[in-house]
Structure 1
Amino acid sequence: MTTSRPLRADALRNYQAIVAAATELFATAGANVPFEEIARRAEVGSATMHRRFPSRAALFEAVYAKQVDDLLEPRAAPDDPRQALEEWLRRFVLFIIGKRAFAEEMAHDTELVLAARRRIYATAEPLLAAAQASGEVRADVSADDVMRMLNGIGLADYPADGQRDRVVDICFRGLRPSEH
C-alpha cells in the first residue's frame, strides 16, 4: 500500500503553478497546447512538468478537480436565497466555459466526472430548494432542469458583446414564479 506524502512547499508551488497555467492555456488555446508551453507559462522546467504530470490525462484530471473545488468552495451567501442561487449558478456557467476546452478528453474518466457531478448537485439542490421555499423561484423546476439549461448556455459560442450574460439573465427571469 502506498501512502501519499504532503508535497514540499516548492513542489506544491510548482504543482499549483502548472495547474493554473494549464487552466488558462486550455481555456484560451485549447486542449492540445504543448506541455512545453504550459511549463514555460508555469515557469518550471520540462522535467518538473513531466514528473508532476506524466500524461496529458493526469494534467486534465488535476485541472478539472481544481475547477470543481473552486466551484464548490464556500463563499459568503447573500441573505436572499434567490440571489445566492443566482450567484452560484453564474459561477457554474463560468465553470462550464472553463472545462469546455477539454471536456472530450475528460469523457473517458467517467468515475471522476460522475463524482464531480454528485458534488455539484449536492451544492445546487439545497440552494434551489431554499430559493423555492422563499417563493422567489418556481416550484416546478428541478436542479437537473437548471443545471442542464445552464450547461447548454455555457457550451454555446457567443460574440464578445455580452450576449452570454444576457442569455443567463433571461434564464434567471424564467426561474421566477409567474405573476398571473
Structure 2
Amino acid sequence: MPDRQRADARRNYARILAVAEEEVAAHGAGASLEQIARVTGVGSATVRRHFPTRRALLEAVSHKRIEALCVRAQELTGKGDSRSALLEWLSDVVAYCVSARGLAAALVYEGAESDSIHENTCSAMMEEAGSPLLRRAVQDGAVATGITVADLITLAVGIVLATEHHPDPAAGADRLFRLAVAGLSPQS
C-alpha cells in the first residue's frame, strides 16, 4: 500500500501542477489555490501539502522557464561583447516574465538579508546562471562594479510588475528596461 500512496502522490502532484500552470497563465500570481484544488479534483489540503506556500507553487510552475533562462545565460557566457551578452540575457528575462504570468512573482526577492536569495529556488538558479555574465561584464569595465545579479533580477521584476496592466505590457517593459540600461553604464 505505501508504494501505491507514493504513486498516487506523484500523480496528484503532476495533476495539480498541470492545473496550476493553466490557472497561473490565466490569472497570474494570484491564481486561487482553492480553484486549483477544485479543478484537479483534490482537497485544498492536498494542494497545500504539495505546495505549502504560494511561492512554492509559483516556483514549480515557473521552473521550466527558469531552466530555459539559465540555459540562455550559459549560451551567452563568453560570447561576443560582455555588456551585450549580459543585456541580451536581461532582456530575455524581462520578455519571459512578461509572457509568463506569475514568473516575475516567482523571482521576487524577500527579506533584507543578502542570503535571502537562497530561500527562493528560482532566484538562486538565476543568480548562479547570471553571475558569469555579470562578472565578465564588470571585469571588462562594461558594467559598473557593485551591481549584483540580485539587483538586476529585482530591476527586471520591478519593470515587469510595473507594466503588467499596461495596454501593451511587452512594449512598456521593453521601454523601461532600455531606460534602466543607461543606469548600468560605468560613470565616466
AA aligned to 2:32 is V
CA drift at 1:165: 1.2
Matches within 5 A, 1:1-150: 15-29=13-27, 30-33=29-32, 35-37=34-36, 40=39, 44=40, 46-47=41-42, 51=46, 53-54=48-49, 57=52, 60-68=55-63, 70-72=65-67, 73-75=70-72, 77-78=75-76, 79-80=79-80, 81-93=82-94, 94-95=96-97, 98-99=102-103, 114-116=119-121, 117-135=123-141, 137-143=142-148, 144-150=150-156
Deviations 1:126-160 (A, max 9, x none): 2111123344x323341143233223213213413
More helix by share: 2
Alignment of 1:164 onto 2:173:
yes
AA aligned to 2:26 is T
> Aligned with 1:26: secondary structure?
helix
Change over 3 Å in CA distance of 1:60–1:148 after alignment to 2: closer
Contact 1:27–1:99 (8 Å) recurs in 2: no
Change over 3 Å in CA distance of 1:53–1:149 after alignment to 2: closer
Contact 1:27–1:101 (8 Å) recurs in 2: no
- The range that moved more, 160-169 or 112-121, is 112-121
> Aligned with 1:57: secondary structure?
coil
Structure 1: state its 5+ residue gaps.
Answer: none
Contact 1:25–1:38 (8 Å) recurs in 2: no
AA aligned to 1:28 is A
Change over 3 Å in CA distance of 1:35–1:112 after alignment to 2: farther
Instruction: Normalising by structure 2, report the TM-score.
Output: 0.59
Aligned length: 166
Change over 3 Å in CA distance of 1:126–1:57 after alignment to 2: same
What percent identity do the matched residue pairs reach? Answer: 23
CA drift at 1:17: 4.9
Structure 2: state its 5+ residue gaps.
Answer: none
Change over 3 Å in CA distance of 1:55–1:167 after alignment to 2: same
CA drift at 1:27: 4.8
AA aligned to 1:31 is G
Deviations 1:37-56 (A, max 9, x none): 5663xxx5x03886565476
CA drift at 1:166: 0.9
Q: Calculate the aligned-residue CA RMSD, in Å.
A: 4.3
C-alpha distance in 2, partners of 1:127/1:114?
A: 22
AA aligned to 2:156 is L
Instruction: Normalising by structure 1, report the TM-score.
Output: 0.61
